[in-house]
Amino acid sequence: MSVLSDQRLTPAQYFALARLREKGRVSQNLLGRMSAMDPATIQGVVKRLGERGFIRRLHDPKDRRRMILELTPAGRSLVDNLQNGMNAVTDQILGPLAPNERDQLRHLLKRIV
């Protein structure tokens, strides 16, 4: 939380930004599913990140009802800058585990998320 609070981001906002950085352009609906957020929550997250200039919302040329999201240069820079801090926190949390236990935990978490 300390890494995110410096940038005034919630975990949900960071997760949405990180998913966009990983996947590139995606629909708002898909981003919500990838982030395990219901439609109302992802809509609020996207709105706030858009207002801060981190996400750009585009109409899908194939379906005007559908919104396509992409990171702005500011959003990409923010995620890239936060990644080192987030990696350090992850290493600290997983510190008591052996490398094979870390891999096992990541594998199990991916299965439930």
Buried b (16+ CB within 10 A) or exposed e, 79-89: beebeeeeeee
Structural domain total, the chain:
1
Interval 80-87 mean pLDDT: 86
Per-residue pLDDT of 34-50, as tens digits, reads: 888 999 999 999 999 99
25 within domain boundaries: yes
92 within domain boundaries: no
Does the structure show a pLDDT above 80 at 113?
A: no
Q: Is 65 exposed, middle or buried (0-12, 13-18, 19+ CB in 10 A)?
A: exposed
Does the structure show a pLDDT above 90 at 61?
A: no
Q: What is the pTM of this model?
A: 0.80
CATH label of the domain that carries residue 51: 1.10.10.10
Does the structure show a pLDDT above 70 at 31?
A: yes
* pLDDT at res. 1: 67
89 within domain boundaries: no
Cβ pair 94, 105 in contact under 8 A: yes
41 within domain boundaries: yes
